[in-house]
A = this chain, B = another copy of it.
Amino acid sequence: MDNPETKSAEKAAAPRKSRKGATPTVRDVARLAGVAPMSVSRAMNNPDAVSPDILQRVRDAVEQLGYVPNLLAGGLASKKSRMVAAVVPTISGSVFLEMVQALTDALAARGYQLMLGQAGYENSREDALLEAIIGRRPDGVVLTGIMRSEQGRRRLLASGIPVVETWDLTADPIDMLVGFSHEKIGKAVAEYLHRLGRRRIAAISADDERAVRRNRHFAETVLALQPALGQDPAAVPTCIVPAPTSLGSGRAGLRALLARDPGIDAVFCSSDMMAQGVLLEALASGIKVPQQLAVVGLGDQSFSRDLYPPLTTVRIDGTAIGATAAQLLIDRAEGKPVDERIRDVGFVIVERGST
C-alpha cells in the first residue's frame, strides 16, 4: 500500500490547495469564478476575447481576492516583461531629469515600468550594470550617451533587446537613436556670439566625450570666424571641469578663465547650472552681464528663465527625447513597424538677458 507507485499517484492526485494567507494566483481566481485559469488570463489581458459573463465573474473574483497578477511569471511565459531599462551617467547632474521624467510617464501610461541604472562617468560599473539589465529581459533599453565599450555594445546587440541611444547623434547607432548634434550646437553658439560682436570668446566645459566634441567645434568655428586669431585652439580660452558640472564649477571656471585672460567678453558653458555659477561669479566680482560678459548655457533648465539676468541658453527638449524613446520602444515591443530609426530632435538657442 505504501509502495512507490501508490505514493507518487497520491501525490499527483492531490494538488496543493491555496493556503490561506498566501498571495492568490490565477488558479485561485479561476476556482472562485468557476472558470479555467486561461480564461482569467484572457479576461485580464484581453477583455474583448471573453464573454461579458465570464468577464464579470472574473472581475468579481479578482476584486474579492485582491488578486494582482505576477508579472514575473507572465513575463517568463510571454517573453514580454513590460519593462524598460534606462541608463544615465548619473542622476544628480539633473540634465537628464526631464528626459527620465518623460520616459517614466510615457511608459507608465502604457503599462510599462522604468528600471533606472547609473553608469557613473567612469566606465567601471558599466559591465555589471549591463548584466543586470540583460538578465531582466527588458522590452527595451534607453542609453544616455554612454556605452563606449565595444564589448558592451556587442553584448547588447547580441541580447536582441531593442535599444534607443539618446542625447547624441552618432553615425552608427546600435539600433535606434533619438538625439541632437553636439557639433552643430558648438558651431551655432560660436556663430551666435560672433554675430553679437563678441571677439574674446571663451568656454567652460565638462570633460565628457560629448562636451569635448561640442567644444572642439565651438572653438574651430570661433577661429574660422576670426582669422586674426590664427589656428591655435588656445586662442579660445577653455576651462575643462570634471563631470558632473555644478554651480561651484561654473564660478571656479570663470575665475580661472579671467586669471588667464581678463578681457574675455563671452563664455559658453556646458550646462545651465554652470552658467548660473558664471552669472553669480560675475555678480560677485562686479562684472556686468551682458554688457561686459555674455553668458550662454546649455539645457534650458526650468530655473534658467528666472535667473538674473535671464539666461540665454541652448534649449534641448528632454521631454521630447524621453517621450519619443518610449514610443519607439513600445511600438517595437508590440510588433509595430518603426519607420525612422534615427530622430534628430534638434535644439534652439533661446535668447534672453544674459547676452
Residues of A whose CB lies within 8 Å of any CB of B are 23, 66, 68-73, 75-76, 81, 83, 90-92, 94, 97-98, 100-101, 104-105, 108, 111, 113-118, 125, 128-129, 131-137, 155, 158-160, 246-248, 251, 273, 276-277, 280, 283-284, 302-303, 305-308
Contact = CB atoms under 8 A, between A and B. Distances in A.
A91 B101 contact: yes
B76 A104 contact: no
Given A91-B104, A116-B116, A68 B134 contact: yes
Nearest to A279: B308
B68 A131 contact: yes
Given A91-B104, A114-B116, 6 more contacts: A69-B135, A70-B76, A90-B101, A108-B125, A108-B132, A248-B305
A72 B75 contact: yes
Given A66-B155, A90-B101, A128 B108 contact: yes
A307 B305 CA distance: 17
A62 to B, nearest CB: 11
A92 B73 CA distance: 33
Nearest to A302: B246
Contact of A72 (B72, B132, B302, B308): B72
Nearest to A94: B94
B117 A113 contact: yes
Contact of A247 (B160, B284, B302): B302
Given A108-B118, A116-B104, A135 B68 contact: yes
17 contacts: A69-B135, A71-B132, A72-B137, A73-B76, A94-B97, A100-B116, A108-B125, A113-B117, A114-B115, A246-B303, A248-B305, A251-B306, A276-B303, A277-B303, A277-B306, A280-B308, A283-B308
Nearest to A135: B71
B108 A101 contact: no
Contacts of A284: 308
A115 B118 contact: no
A70 B135 contact: yes
Contacts of A305: 248
B118 A105 contact: yes
Nearest to A284: B308
A150 to B, nearest CB: 15
B23 A160 contact: yes
Nearest to A280: B308
Nearest to A252: B306
A85 B339 CA distance: 34
Contacts of A303: 246-248, 273, 276-277
